[in-house]
Amino acid sequence: MLFVSGRCEELHPRHMEDVGRYRHKVFIDHLGWPLHSSNGIELDEFDGGEAIYISSYDENNQINGVARLLPTTVPYLLEKVFPALWESAEFPHDVKIWELSRFAAMDFISDTSFPHQASAKHASKFFRQVVEVAKKLGVCSLITVSPIGMERLLRLNGFESIRTGSPAVYGGRLIVSLLIHC
């Protein structure tokens, strides 16, 4: 498996197109989330210069995982779009706490079914790579809004996560906000 990471301006434009198309396939086509897309590419207002993208590619050079890391010192998804999921008094704005968003690890080529995304053979390896990138950035904790199955992926891989609020339904599926210690 090949991993690629960096800011948008550091990555080849074709790579960013792969990321946007993959995100569209996962979050709009499969999860049914009502997100904006253009020409089959899903990007949002949080895809700015501060975002770090991590992707994985299989042996056939097909993208099979994406994630976005965003410092909490700039506007981020949980704070701006899902504030009801965060039941603490204040949202984090700390250089050592970053948001993990748009995490997906699904191989569209194999016969792994989407509902079992967290058990995809490469999901664990990919998540560990995301954490390694975060650590190199000086991150101590990640926050995320994810389908509830992410808790299982974390637990199975020995990561400590804490729910920061009650789950809610979004796009017909349960989502939850988590604090993950790196």
- Express each pLDDT in 39-95 by its tens digit: 999 999 999 999 999 999 988 899 999 999 999 999 999 999 999 999 987 999 999
pTM: 0.90
Nearest to 117 by CA among 18, 19, 26, 16: 26
- pLDDT tens readout for residues 90-148: 999 999 999 999 999 987 766 544 444 444 567 889 999 999 999 999 999 999 998 88
Element (H, E) at 52: strand 52-57
User: Residue 171 and residue 182: Cα distance in Å, rounded?
Assistant: 29
2-181 folds as Aminopeptidase (3.40.630)
Name the one residue in this structure whose structure tokens are 């948008």.
8
Per-residue burial over 94-116, b if 16 or more Cβ lie within 10 Å, else e, is: eeebbbbbbbbbbbeeeebeeee
Percent of the chain whose predicted confidence (pLDDT) is above 70: 93
The whole-number pLDDT of residue 120 equals 54
CA–CA dist 47, 19 (Å, integer): 11
- Amino acid occupying residue 90: E
